[in-house]
Structure 1
Amino acid sequence: MNADERQLRSALEHFNSVTDNLIQAYQLLEAQVAELNVKLQVANDELVAKSVANEQLAAKLSTLLQVMPAGVLELDEEGRVVALNAAVQSYLPGLLPGALWQLEEHFHSGEQEGVYVSKQGGQHFTVLACPLPGTGAFLLMVDVSKLHHLHQQLAQQERLAVMGRMAASLAHQIRTPLATALLYAANLQRDDLPADGRSRFAGKVVNRLQALESLVQDMLRFVRIGPTDGGNEPFALMPVLAELEAVIGPQLQAKQLQWQPQIDGDAIVAGRRSDLLGALVNLLENACEHAPVGSRLTLQARFEAEFYVIRVIDQGKGVPEQVESQIFDPFFTTRANGTGLGLAIVKRVVEDMKGQIHYLRDSRGTVFELLLPVQATV
């Protein structure tokens, strides 16, 4: 075999080897493609199944949104209505997709914070906004008219219950002085009663009747105090505080009390000036009665955060710890001749001014603290 034949044979053998390698590679590639096709089919089947499930879920959610009693409103980034369910259509029949949503166009604020009253039907709603990042927001409207009506009924029942307790307490308060007055009046009918005895019993009858009159006056004052339209007006506190010393001067002198006013700044508050003056006089007279002879009686008044704080501080023993929680209750009293309405009236005056009142007992003495919201500074 010559050289050319050997070279040709070697070339053919090399060609056959390369061909075999290509065939093997092709067969391997075919196997991989077949495997990939199987996996792709499985993935495609899973995507189809998920798509069907998502469509079914979307249909269920759409049906749920349409039948749910709460109103659901979808807004775009510009605040325009994208979609709304049947509840919103029944609440606001004039609202259509594409309209610019404006809360004040359909509702006005109700008595409770966060509750709105429909301008069309008068129902009470809560409106909750749920922002969607970059895509607008959902609004959830819930009709709370029945709940509002139940709250009104509950408040009415509570008022009736309070009136019942007050009537029972008032009857108890009236019974003792009235029975005593009747007893003294019966003695006046005695024919053998000397003139000085008749005068003494008559004085006692008058004294008991005056006690009844005082109780009735306190009761009327307690009932009268409360917010009314146009009743609250802004006024400066400094003239009120300056007037207090002249009013309680006789009580201060009677017990030789050291009057220590500590007033820092003036403020404008909203309320009834006469009611606040009466409440402060009540606290100071109460302090004068319980303060030891010759001790200090302090009136502090100053700004603290957003409040103007007034403190009446005396050196008395204070209220027994076991009855501290009851001192602001109507008709509760620890005094034999008390009506139990003084502190209750003070509490109502302060609360009608949107303020707070606290009783404290610390190193300073017995403290009644009034926190009044400030309308403006002077």
Structure 2
Amino acid sequence: MLSDISIKEILLCVPTGLIVLNTQGLIAWMNEAAIALIDADVTGQQWREVIDKVFSPKEDDGLEVSLVNGRRVHLAISSLSNPPGELIILTDFTATREYEHARENQNQLMTLGRMTAQLAHQIRTPLASAMLYAEHLSAMQGLEDRNRLWLSRLQACHNAIEQQIEELLLFARGERLEKRQLDLQQWSRALEERIYILFEDKTVQWKINNQLPVRQCLLHEEALIGAMLNLISNSLQAEAGQIVVDMIVNEEGSGFILRVSDNGKGMPPEVEAQVFSPFFTTRAQGTGLGLAIVKAATAAHKGMVTVNTSPGKGCIFELQIPW
């Protein structure tokens, strides 16, 4: 038969959090797993006070409850008779819920991939017809300069829509981006032209700081341009009054930085934590894919994307791309 000492040692080591309350509701004992779950040894404190400090219920908790440290636990209570009191049992479901969330996202991506493949052809067919008519008009003699300008803008819009379709296909199917050697400065000029079109009918104050050098880089031209346009569109949707686009070499000289800064609404911490997650959106008409595509395009170039934001103080999105 196990001795009292060996049983206590076992209880200290089990992965489930155990907390013993006395009849006054004070925490009389807790094992190592419980201390790790709530990030504190609260022995001797009132359980009700600990609940207020440690637990942070969310709308989607279901059968579990969220903690302030982000973990999700299942809580069960059993009565103790000798000595009298209560046993609080905390089971960590964080990894399980993260796995289920990832699996759900994967299923959504698979469904999206099938739908996108079916719809891409239907969308591209009328677009191709429209462009064919535009090319015929552009080839006409005696076309006024203003009309020719509108045609060129129509072609640019068509290219943008075509690129969005390509990005969605790449993201949904998980295809690898086929990069090629490009002149970095020439690529940045092409990005500038697309940015001009995006800002053309906007009242927002904007500035482009382009210091990228003449240098050959292995890039997927449209994927990175699309990522930057997504970031700028995100700033516009956040009601920014000022937007600055920086394209610079990093301090170490090991790559370059693409940065979009704005003075828009910013984001609270709970939104910032999920902002790159597929299908996460705070807008009723949003797809939740714009920033996820930004992350995917950056990762395809072995880079990383970061965001610095707070409510009411705007956002700074930064893409760090190695040579």
Structure holding more helix per residue: 1
Q: TM-score, normalised by structure 1?
A: 0.40
**Larger C-alpha radius of gyration, 1 or 2?**
1
Q: TM-score, normalised by structure 2?
A: 0.46
